[in-house]
Structure 1
Amino acid sequence: MAIWTQHTIDEDFGSAVAWYEINPSASTQFQHGEIIPPGSALVYIFNAAISSDRKVNGSGASFGADMAIGFNTSSSSTFVTDDVITQVASAPPSPSSQFKQVASSSAAFQQAFACNTNSPDDCRWGDYSGASPDPSGNRGAVWFTNTLVDSTGNWATRNWEAIAGNITEYPIPTNGNTLSFGITDGSDGNLWFTENQNNKIGKLTP
């Protein structure tokens, strides 16, 4: 059994994401790593979610050695993007070698949303991501939800699947502010995610 977790850390180039696979029975780490930008780019990496591809069903288990981590990137000259890195246990990647961009914001974030009134340039972006293993347990996939800004300045939900390094995005029909907050696999074989701004729960069927 293992616990996978991550958090954002401060770095000289901006921010990065540190991730860990933890052995809870021994209170030790199986492995850990850091997601950093390619080259010397001044990039901020943040708002991540991580999951292994493990699926347990009763006394049986499958997969579990590989993981995927989704995150946002941005800089002073680029809009926020959704990205993902997948790690195969037999061939772990270097920290920045396998960035795969899922989608990019088409506008700047809303200055009036979640900003510090004492410092208007300090606007919050975070807590709006999630990752879950595939509910079928026989594909080795990880599912993600995260947020981007669309052309009208709305917070738009983006859902995608990562499997064997391949990315497939699944658009949702809701327009306007949706602001995804998390995703989880259900016992019914579907994925369930939230649209926080619309007070809705969405369903994805693999």
Structure 2
Amino acid sequence: MNQRLHNLYLQLQTTNIPKILRNEIEIDTMIGKPIYGVTLQIDLSPEVKQIIKIIQQQLIQIEPTLYLSPLEFAHISFNQVVYWKGTYRSGQVKTWELVQKEFITKFLALNKMLNAFSISFQPLLVFPAAIIWAAFDENDELEKLREVFFAKLPFPPETPKRNHMIHTSLARFKKKLTNPQKLLDFVSLQKFDSTMKVSEIILRRENLYPSLETREIARIQLI
């Protein structure tokens, strides 16, 4: 097992459980609103999506006011390129325009140059902002791939968000929880797991939060 991710998830769980029990959650007011961002994503396999559907059906029975992330747009966030929530001196649109040509050229140059790998989804985690399904890779392959991308691609220096986890968001909060303990009990007892191969990285522009409307810019294959 990937010990770094195991320790990270355990730390996050330990930090967040008391907040959830106190119902200190973040009401998401941005759902469905226009944004401008550019992001690298990994699409989920049909098998993973099918299990997500089952999990979401159970989650909504426990907390009927949850906003369930649409399966159609389910993905793993590899990393933001231009973060819609970030502060850019020239603004998001101009910042992307300044690096767009070079970024796409260098991104496409990585096509079929990097190794594919497998990830296994296991723990459900409740954060103040979302309920997520976290995943492990065996030898930190995704983190190493991120390092390659940051070394070779012209990410804007003002981009503040750098991912170190592997996860997909299952639900966000529209209201305070009706029963925080019941939700945490469900999460702690869950036995869902699924494995998929990561064989593509996709560059997309985000138009509606959270990735409810995107436009594909380019994609590369891993071998």
In terms of fraction of residues, the more strand-rich structure is 1
In terms of fraction of residues, the more helix-rich structure is 2
Same fold (TM over 0.5): no
| TM-score (structure 1 length as normaliser) | 0.25
| TM-score (structure 2 length as normaliser) | 0.24
